[in-house]
């Protein structure tokens, strides 16, 4: 398995530079084995939703509403589980991202030396995509290569 892609629209029938790269309405999360050792971790989480299909290769698989809700729940749980060990860089000049979660503000440094913060940001991106798809009553798309 080379990577996982989660999107709010079909991906492979579009030109990346004119859609996902430059338009805010197109949202995606991707993780690839070339850049991360976490692909098996995400695959294991996705198996809770799509079973052994997570071992297959496919593009733009439309998830049902129930599957999208389950992904949302799983990744919300991962945020809750990882936040207690996040690295706080509040007040520093290190580039960061501000995350508001359950009424609290977290300053996330997303450098390579902050793996927990990067995972929290990844989980949040997935939850955000799931929330949008559920709110707009449209499918969330999953691709595994």
Instruction: Give every CB contact of residue 19 below 8 A, 6+ residues apart in sequence.
Output: 9, 26
Compute CA 52 distance to the chain's CA centroid, rounded to the nearest angstrom.
Answer: 20
Kindly indicate the confidence band of residue 22, based on its pLDDT and cuts at 50, 70 and 90.
low
Alpha carbons 142 and 29: distance in angstroms, whole number? 10
By C-alpha distance, which of 137, 129, 139 is closest to 20? Answer: 129
Q: What is the pLDDT of residues 120-133, one digit of tens each?
A: 999 999 999 999 99
- Residue 53 clears pLDDT 70, i.e. is over it: yes
Q: Taking a C-beta distance cutoff of 8 angstroms, is the pair 108, 117 a contact? A: yes
Round to whole Å and give the CA distance between 20 and 6: 12
pLDDT in tens, 30-45: 888 766 678 889 999 9
Top pLDDT among 13 and 9 is at 9
Please return the burial class of 57, using the count of CB atoms within 10 Å of its CB with bins 0-12, 13-18 and 19+: exposed
Distances (CA, A) of 2 to 61, 101, 113, 138: 17, 31, 23, 27
Output the pLDDT for position 2: 82
CA distance linking residue 24 with residue 13, whole number of Å: 18
**Predicted local distance difference test score (pLDDT) of residue 103:** 92
CA–CA dist 42, 64 (Å, integer): 19
């Amino acid at each position: 398995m080379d990577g996982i892609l989660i999107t709010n629209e079909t991906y492979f029938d579009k030109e990346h530079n004119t859609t996902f790269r430059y338009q805010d309405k197109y949202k995606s999360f991707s993780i690839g084995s070339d850049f991360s050792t976490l692909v098996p971790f995400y695959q294991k989480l996705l198996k809770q939703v799509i079973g052994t299909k997570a071992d297959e290769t496919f593009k733009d698989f439309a998830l049902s509403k129930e599957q999208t809700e389950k992904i949302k729940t799983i990744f919300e749980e991962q945020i809750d589980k990882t936040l207690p060990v996040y690295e706080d860089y509040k007040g520093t000049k290190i580039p960061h991202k501000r995350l508001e979660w359950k009424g609290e503000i977290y300053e996330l440094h997303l450098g390579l030396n902050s793996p927990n913060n990067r995972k929290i940001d990844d989980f949040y991106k997935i939850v955000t995509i799931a929330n949008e798809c559920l709110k707009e009553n449209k499918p969330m798309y999953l691709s595994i290569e």
